[in-house]
């Protein structure tokens, strides 16, 4: 019953934020909760608001691995660059970690792209910063990234590397001056 409630609550939150079906498919069923906590104590909680200034350092990531022997890939994207109304630079890649161990210790992971904290331009409204956790098909992945972080086709990246989505979390942010 708890997993069904978790799935329904997550699905509703993702649909309300237009993450389902635009970023995540309609048939997504989470197999773990993805915990994200910034060093200052701010926790990501399915669409809560966090100021850019409170999310500039890489967060701590926690999850219960469905398979402790597997490795995982974590992505952070902004599908609202430069704005939700005009996402011509979207999705923008903010972070890519591979080979995250089943214990979630990101210090043991490989950073394909270092953490880049949110920096939404002034007067561009709310931005969704989405964390996507994937199970890797192999324990030592060696993936390549495109040079440009803007217009990053993360869906092609996940398909090419046979990644299986298992967890999602996100927060909302906007320029501190708004």
Q: Mean pLDDT across the stretch 76-93?
A: 95
- Please report, rounded to a whole number, the percentage of residues in the chain having pLDDT higher than 70: 94
Q: Residue 177's pLDDT is what?
A: 65
Task: Give, in order, the Cα–Cα distances in Å from 66 to each of 10, 38, 134, 136.
Answer: 18, 24, 11, 12
**What is the pLDDT, as a whole number, of residue 104?**
79
Read off the pLDDT of residues 45-81 as tens digits, 9 standing for 90 and up: 999 999 999 999 999 999 999 898 899 999 999 999 9
What's the CATH number of domain 30-173, 3.90.280.10, 3.40.50.10420, 3.40.50.20, 3.60.15.10? 3.90.280.10
Query: Please, are residues 42 and 70 in contact by the beta-carbon 8 Å criterion?
Result: no
Nearest to 166 by CA among 135, 138, 129, 126: 135
Q: Kindly indicate the confidence band of residue 139, based on its pLDDT and cuts at 50, 70 and 90.
A: confident
The structural domains of the chain, with segments of one domain joined by +, span: 30-173
Q: Are strands 110-113 and 92-101 parallel, antiparallel or unpaired?
A: antiparallel
Tens digit of each residue's pLDDT (9 = 90 or more) over 1-12: 344 445 678 889
The C-alpha atoms of residue 131 and residue 169 are separated, in whole angstroms, by 5
pLDDT class for 178, splitting at 50, 70, 90?
Answer: very low
């Amino acid at each position: 019953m708890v997993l069904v409630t978790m799935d329904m609550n997550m699905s509703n939150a993702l649909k309300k934020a237009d993450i389902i079906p635009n970023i995540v498919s309609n048939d997504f069923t989470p197999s773990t909760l993805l915990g994200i906590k910034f060093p200052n104590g701010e926790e990501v909680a399915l669409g809560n608001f966090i100021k850019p200034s409170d999310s500039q350092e890489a967060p701590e990531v926690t999850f219960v691995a469905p398979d402790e022997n597997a490795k995982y890939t974590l992505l952070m994207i902004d599908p609202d660059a430069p704005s939700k109304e005009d996402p011509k630079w979207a999705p923008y890649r903010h972070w890519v970690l591979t080979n995250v161990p089943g214990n979630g210790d990101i210090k043991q992971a490989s950073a394909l792209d270092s953490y880049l904290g949110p920096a939404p331009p002034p007067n561009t409204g709310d931005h969704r910063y989405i964390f996507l956790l994937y199970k890797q098909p192999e324990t030592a992945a060696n993936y390549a990234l495109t040079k440009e972080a803007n217009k990053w086709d993360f869906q092609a990246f996940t398909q090419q590397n046979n990644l299986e989505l298992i967890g999602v979390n996100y927060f909302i942010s906007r320029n501190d001056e708004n």
